[in-house]
Structure 1
Amino acid sequence: MIAASRKREIKRIITEKKYVKVNELSRLFNVSEETIRRDLEALENEGILERNYGGAVLVESATVPPLSIRAAENLEEKRLIGEKAVQLIKEGSIILLDAGTTTFQIAKKLENKRMTVITNDINIAYELKDKNAINVFITGGKLSGEVMALYGPETQKSIEGYNVDIAFIATTGITLTKGFTTSDIYGAEVKKSMIRAAREKIIVADSSKIGKNALITFASFSDIDCLILAGSVDEDVLHRLEEMIKVVMC
C-alpha cells in the first residue's frame, strides 16, 4: 500500500476509534513502526490527530451545545468531580467557581459551612442561596443569557480584586499540544483572570473533553496545579497527561 492510501486508511480508523496505536498499525499495514510514526507526524501536521506515547488521538473541533443539553451530558462523571473537588476545600476558604455545568456540581456538593464562594455563574449563585454559612459573591459584568453567566472587563476586574485560595475552572477541550481551550473569547479572558487571582488553580473536566480542541487556549499545563478528571481515559493518554500535570481521577 502506498503512503497516501495508508494515511487515508489511518484517518478512517482514527475517526472511527478516536485512538490508534503505532504497533497495531504497523502490524495491520505490514510496515515498520518508524514508517507509521512518519505517517502520524504528517497527519498531525494536517491537524487530524495528536501524537502521544505509543500512538495518537483524534483531534475533534469542540462544539458547545445549549446549556440545557450540556447540563445532562456525562452527569454522573460531573457529580463524581463535584464530590472529589469539595474534599479539597477547607472551612474558611475563599474559592472561585467558574461558570459551567461541571462547576455547578461542585456547588451542589458544598456543605453549608463557613467559606466564601465567588462566581460569575448565575445558576451557581442561585444554588447556594439557602446555604447561609457560605458568603456568595457574584462578579460584575455583562450577562450572557445563553449560558447564564457574566463576562467582560468588569468581570475580570472584579475577579482580580480578590485573594483566592482555590479556583475551579471549567474547560471545553484538552489536548496535549494546545493545553486547555474554550470556544468563547470573553470566557477565555475570565478564566485567565481566575488563574491570576488564585493561589491554587484546578481544572475540572470529564473525559469527553480530551482530544477536543476549541478556539482559544486559556491555559497551558504549567499554568494549572491539578486536573480533576472523571470517566474512561486511554491508558497511554493518561500517562502523557500525568507527565505534564497532577491528575486526580474520580
Structure 2
Amino acid sequence: MTYESLAARTGIPLPPTFVRLLADGKTRYGDDLADWKANWCDYTVRAQPLLSCAYDLEWIGPEQAGEIVEHWLNPGFQNARAFLPFAISGAGDAYCLMKTAAGDVGVGLIWHDRDTSAIESASFDNFVFETLVESAADFEHLLDDFSPEHARDCVRANVSVAAAYLPANLNLALEDMISPQSLDEENDGGMISSAVAEAALSVSPPFERERFAVVPRWQCNER
C-alpha cells in the first residue's frame, strides 16, 4: 500500500505539498520507533515531523490510512463520500483529504464517535498554515513536556521548516506573525495574541466549512 495507490483507490489526488513532505521524510517520527523514543524531545523541538507543535495530531503511513478507509471511512459505509486519511488524533479521529463541493481537495477532521463532521480547510496548504497559526496562539499542550521558551522554539522551527513547502503569501503571513513586534511576551501559553492570529489567517480567502453526515466508526463494524 502506498499513498499513490490509496489516492487512485479513493479518487482523491495527493496535494503536491503533501507529496513533497512524504518524499522528504517530514512526516516521519525518527528513523524507527526506538530512535523516536530515545530522541523525541529533540525531534519535537526541531519540527521533526512537521507540525510537531500541533495539538493532538499524529501523522500516519499509507498502511494505517488504508485500514481506516477499509473499515470506517469507506464510501460504502459513508453515503458514497470518499476520504483519504493522513493523520489521527489520540482518540482515533482522522484528519483526511476530501473533495470539496467545488471539486478541490480540502482537509477535514472526521470524528470517530459523532454523526457529523466538516471540511474545515480549503486546501492542504491552508491546513498546514492554519495549524501553525493555531499553535502559535496556543501551545499550552506543549507545556506538559517543555518550558514556554522551548515551546516557542518548537513553533519557530515548524514555521521555518514549512517555509520550504508553503506558498509565498502564507510564508509571509507566518513571518509577520512571529516577528518581534507581533509577539505576546506576557503570555506563557502562546506567543501571539488572538488579534495577530486573526490577521494572519485573513490572508487566505474565506472558506465556508462544509458539514456532512458521518457514520461513526463503531457502527461500521456492525455492517
TM-score of the aligned structures, taking structure 2 as reference length = 0.28
TM-score of the aligned structures, taking structure 1 as reference length = 0.26
Greater strand share, structure number: 1
Greater relative contact order structure (CA < 8 Å, 6+ sep) = 2
